[in-house]
Amino acid sequence: MTALFEHSPWVEARADARPSTGNRHADLMAVVHAASANEQLALIRAHPELAGKAAIDRTLTAASAAEQASAGLDRLSEAEFARFHTLNAAYRERFDFPFIICVRLTDKAGILAAMEQRLRNDRETEIATAIAQIGEIVRLRLEDQA
């Protein structure tokens, strides 16, 4: 079974310890939203950079590798790879966590455009956006398990 959250089993464990509403996604996201700011940052930081080192050295989780491949991130030209590397570095420098987007809902061009646009956001907006994108990733992973 695919882990729903990257290297963060605490989310599912906490959801399992609570009464279920019958909506697994809502129950999981309620745990995320109730988590402390530090826990939310740790959840965001548990995600790999897109087309980053983990993709090259094959240390991505199976789910992340498949998701990145679905957007063509496993087949980048040298110029595209360089652009991802530059934007990943700028994003991490600005926000101190990796750029998160549900890659299954976009493509390379859409990801690059979102990276460029979101670099203009403030940190609080990006934390909220990253959490929302994690929610989309988890929603699709739950659908895959159904």
Catalytic residues: 47
Spatial CA neighbour of 43 closest among 133, 116, 104: 133
The Cα–Cα gap between 7 and 76 comes to 26
Spatial CA neighbour of 3 closest among 44, 58, 64, 53: 64
The Cα–Cα gap between 44 and 134 comes to 8
The Cα–Cα gap between 127 and 32 comes to 12
